[in-house]
Structure 1
Amino acid sequence: MDSTSSPSEPEPTASAGLDSAADVDSPAPLCDDRRLATDRVLPSWTEPMITQLSTSIGGPVGVHAAVGRSRHWTPLRVVFLIALAVLALGWFGKAGCIQQTTVDGQPGQSRLDWDDQRQFYGLCYSNIVAGYSENRLTPHDLAEGAAPYRTFWNTDGEKKYLEEPVVTGAFMYVVAQASRGWGSLTEAIGLPRALDVVNYFNIAAVLLALGWLIAIWATMRTRRRDPWVVALIAVSPLVLVHAFTAFEVLPVMFTALAMYAWSRDRMKLTGLFIGLGAATAFYPVLLLVAIGLLCVRERRVRDSLVVAAAAVLSWAVINIPVAVIYPSGWGAWFTAWRDAAAGPDSVYRLITQMTGWEPSAVLVTALVFALMIAVVAGVTYLAMRSPREPRLPALMFLLVAGALLIGKDWRPETSLWLVPLAVLAIPHRRVLLAWMTFDALLWVPRMALFLEPDRKWLPVEFFYIVSAARWLMVAGLCAYVVWEMAKPVLVRPAPAQHLLRSPAG
């Protein structure tokens, strides 16, 4: 600091830990840039596992280290680099299912090499690839005017439509048109042309990877004081296995953006992202429940009404035109879910395996609705009676995990819904990593269900045992979150005013 500076007029500083430059007694002039992330949580101080690992590169961050000064290797860029590496490995895991082979008797013609159930024993199955032709997205279908919700086909004498929400259907249609255009371009300029389904998968994978990076960015901005916790989202084994299994990245992205907008007090923007998320999957709607509980507890009912109105409006703008023009196609997603029997991953199938009781699809649907009401009621009671301030990620984790636990079809890729929420709600990294690894490995016995008897490497009973263990693990994580919210608050010194309200609360 210049010796002529007046103590009565301190220079402003961006550091949260220094009130002014005049408070610093330095033997030498201070650097012009005095920004420090003094409130950042340092994993090498707070996480025993990270502390031990850091010894290989010199130990934990020093007490006098200038944190947050790097212009290039920021936490966001490092986590992005980790996420891109994991996503690349995830693409290679699915690459076995986009291998091409020649068509017998047709020189120069290629097809997907799914011979001998390669998609199952190679563990590379993807709904993105499998649904390409089934959902009438090929260039031939598009040239004839095929479009989601308008086009139907007959399967066993029954009309079938695309069974996806509107935003997901629009995403699939745009990717199909892009792959069609890319195929035409490569053919026009003389480049080697891949199969259209391969182009479709690759373009979808690039866009889904971008969506996952957006989800990471939004989550990191939501948890500004602890950015390194998001690294666990980037390295999650569930992302490695299921990032490109289906389109579940889309609702995760919109949910993360909605939670970020909420942390910034942008109520209308929060509702917009909830509405968009609800047009990709059901679970983002539960954000309205969680936000409503927080607003009632904090006497901010008007904010919850603004969020709900914006969510309903954005959802209606997207869905009503399709519902009016193509009502049968628009309702096919809900109708298919309502009429479907309990999936092999659901708790109802586990009960069937143990007791022999086989409930009808109607009964299972009624049970799901009743139990979901019970889950919402339980979370509501907990949020209202909790001695500590509930946090949005914790409430959302309980609601989404409850929906999966009692749902009629817990597909492996839908566990991606829990990854950002669990990382924000549960501070035990090793526990979370163990659960995510176990959940990802469930893919192995799941694929064995579809193998022919002479190719099965695991008995069917093994899958149900592992599925039950997954159910118990997630239930245990829910029990921990409930215990954290319900335990008494310890008496602590009053925090600084700017720390009273958590951005994620």
Structure 2
Amino acid sequence: MTRSTSTPGAAGSVARAALPFVPLGLLAALGAILAYAWKAPCRFGGAWNDGTQQFLNFCYTDIYPLWWNEKLDQGLTPYFGHPVEYPVGIGSLMWVIQKLVTGTSDPGVRFFDLTVIVMAASLVAGVVVMVALAGLQRRPWDAAWYALAPALILTAYINWDLMCGALSLGAFLAWSRRAHFTAGALLGLAIATKFYPIVLFGPLLLLALRTRKLPPLLWAVGGTVITWVVVNLPFMLFAFDGWKRFYVFSSERGADWGSLWFFFQNRQWPFLGDAGRVDMLGIVSFGLLCLAVAVLALTAPTRPRLMQLCFLVLAAFMVTNKVWSPQYVLWLVPFAVLARPNWKPLALWQVAECWYFFAIWLYLVHVQPGNETLGIGDGGYFAAVWARAITIAILAAFVVRDILRPEHDVIRQGGVDDPVGGVFDGAEDRFVLRMPSRTAVREAAPEAS
């Protein structure tokens, strides 16, 4: 008779590890339903067809009007029949859903509904992946922030950001399990959907330099390049003009809603408000913040955790970007929670994001001709713009403090290093920049004669 090798203790450990996935997945589904319900005045009340009411009811979405703006209603194929201002991951999804809803009654609404189903599935998948990542940090329930964050419910279906979020989180789960090529492939798909995940290679590079773990990074870069090329190449070869629209549009676009540059231009600040310099200002300011993160990563007494650096770089990208749409909060929520799961600054930030969400729509009403008595003016709107930037800066300051003083980092309690870091977890420092201490400088100086 063969004795079973499993033990009740091992089975119980597996059960405890699996426990958070179902309830948190259900919470994500609840968040997806609440986000859909928030769009009810537009989806069921017809406010989308009224340029004022969709803002006063706070239910605007990019998805519905793009059915017409991208000529999907005319049966044109994205990129091939009409240039699309989004990367091919989104354009391909548009094409699939276009085929499904063409010929139905009210296809614009059906286009929105089917897109919502994909985004809802992406939210659930993203939360489940985050449960796994947060579970590595012994805090799986932190994923509830992503499932039910107030700003997420308000902004979930403005655009296609949730799909990119799920792919990005999946990439870091693969990295944590040392599946480096897979991690790169998932990041390649994410970048083919929304371009912002490309900045997440910065933290990987910095930690690879500090630990000299370059081969895993090269595998990931290879996976990203191969995947991105495979996905994009058919469009580049056969519909180049339509494919390049996203990149041309991004480069030509000026300072727009939500960005600090839009504030500077509106208030006509010298230099900072110069529309002709906005690209240069954005690149230089982002570069300087990235340089500061690099110095921090390579000089900190204790190697930073991967999620800490990801949060800092992504926050820098958002604050310095030419555009800061309400739904960009979806990019940052999981990384903010994984970097520093402290509810007070997170809650303060969520309040600021919700404030901005309502402010932008009221401001868009106010600037419409004939609506000068409605909504809010420049003062209320730009106060909300700065509230977002300031609360993110507060979050970043706490993360920097945790890096410089790891005893404040709740993840590193009990001798834990970087459980999401994969090959970086427990790795020795091989390349660290050290500023010479004053004592060392005095000892090295020649004695006065």
Q: Calculate the TM-score normalised by the size of structure 2.
A: 0.85
Q: Which of 451-460 and 379-388 deviates more? A: 451-460
> What CA distance in whole angstroms lies between the structure 1 residues aligned with 2:326 and 2:413?
42
Q: How far apart are residue 495 of structure 1 and its match?
A: 9.6
1:94-173 to structure 2, matched below 5 A, reads 94-99=39-44, 114-115=49-50, 117-138=52-73, 141-142=74-75, 146-152=76-82, 161-173=83-95
Q: Deviations over 1:162-194 (max 9, x none)?
A: 10011111111112222227x2xxxxxxxxx4x
User: Could you list the runs of 5+ residues in structure 1 that have no partner in the other structure?
Assistant: 1-9, 15-31, 39-66, 102-111, 153-160, 184-192
Structure-2 residue corresponding to 1:462: 380
Q: How far apart are residue 293 of structure 1 and its match?
A: 1.5
SS at match of 1:423: helix
CA contact (8 A) 1:214 1:253 kept: yes
- Aligned mate of 1:219, from 89, 114, 130: 130
> What CA distance in whole angstroms lies between the structure 1 residues aligned with 2:362 and 2:292?
37
Q: Which of 206-215 and 223-232 deviates more? A: 223-232
> What CA distance in whole angstroms lies between the structure 2 residues aligned with 1:229 and 1:169?
33
- Aligned mate of 2:25, from 80, 94, 104: 80
CA spacing shift, 1:364–1:423, aligned 2, 3 Å:
same
Q: Which of 379-388 and 120-129 deviates more? A: 379-388
Pair 1:475-2:389 in alignment: no
Structure-1 residue corresponding to 2:99: 177
Residue 248 of structure 1 aligns with an amino acid whose one-letter code is D
Structure-2 residue corresponding to 1:312: 225
- Aligned mate of 2:257, from 338, 341, 344: 344
CA contact (8 A) 1:125 1:245 kept: yes
Q: How far apart are residue 287 of structure 1 and its match?
A: 2.2
> What CA distance in whole angstroms lies between the structure 2 residues aligned with 1:162 and 1:485?
41
CA contact (8 A) 2:345 2:394 kept: no
Structure-2 residue corresponding to 1:49: none
Q: Deviations over 1:291-340 (max 9, x none)?
A: 12122222211111111111111111111221222222111112112111
Q: Deviations over 1:392-424 (max 9, x none)?
A: 211111111000111111111111100000010
Residue 71 of structure 2 aligns with an amino acid whose one-letter code is R
Rg bigger for which structure?
A: 1
Residue 94 of structure 1 aligns with an amino acid whose one-letter code is K
CA contact (8 A) 2:158 2:327 kept: yes
CA contact (8 A) 1:127 1:246 kept: yes
What is the aligned-residue identity percentage? 24
Structure-2 residue corresponding to 1:6: none
Pair 1:438-2:360 in alignment: no
Q: Which of 368-377 and 475-484 deviates more? A: 368-377
SS at match of 1:68: helix
1:194-205 to structure 2, matched below 5 A, reads 195-205=106-116
Give the structure, 1 or 2, with the largest relative contact order (CA under 8 Å, sep 6 or more).
2
Q: How far apart are residue 270 of structure 1 and its match?
A: 0.4
CA contact (8 A) 1:339 1:362 kept: no
> What CA distance in whole angstroms lies between the structure 2 residues aligned with 1:124 and 1:100?
10
1:96-495 to structure 2, matched below 5 A, reads 96-99=41-44, 114-115=49-50, 117-138=52-73, 141-142=74-75, 146-152=76-82, 161-180=83-102, 183=104, 193=105, 195-224=106-135, 225-357=138-270, 359-451=273-365, 452=368, 453-454=371-372, 456-487=374-405
Greater fraction of residues in helix:
2
CA contact (8 A) 1:179 1:200 kept: yes
SS at match of 1:345: coil
User: Could you list the runs of 5+ residues in structure 2 that have no partner in the other structure?
Assistant: 426-449
Structure-2 residue corresponding to 1:54: none
Q: Which of 395-404 and 114-123 deviates more? A: 114-123
Q: How many residues align?
A: 410
Measured on the aligned residues, the alpha-carbon RMSD in Å equals 2.6
Q: How far apart are residue 354 of structure 1 and its match?
A: 4.2
Q: How far apart are residue 496 of structure 1 and its match?
A: 9.0
CA contact (8 A) 1:387 1:489 kept: no
> What CA distance in whole angstroms lies between the structure 1 residues aligned with 2:275 and 2:13?
55
CA spacing shift, 1:399–1:34, aligned 2, 3 Å:
closer
Q: How far apart are residue 378 of structure 1 and its match?
A: 1.6
CA spacing shift, 1:378–1:133, aligned 2, 3 Å:
same
Residue 467 of structure 1 aligns with an amino acid whose one-letter code is V
Q: Which of 269-278 and 83-92 deviates more? A: 83-92
Residue 445 of structure 1 aligns with an amino acid whose one-letter code is A
Structure-1 residue corresponding to 2:445: none
Structure-2 residue corresponding to 1:17: none
CA contact (8 A) 2:161 2:330 kept: yes
CA spacing shift, 1:168–1:487, aligned 2, 3 Å:
same
CA spacing shift, 1:439–1:116, aligned 2, 3 Å:
closer
Pair 1:503-2:417 in alignment: no
Q: How far apart are residue 372 of structure 1 and its match?
A: 2.2
Q: Deviations over 1:232-272 (max 9, x none)?
A: 11110121101101111122111100010001000010000
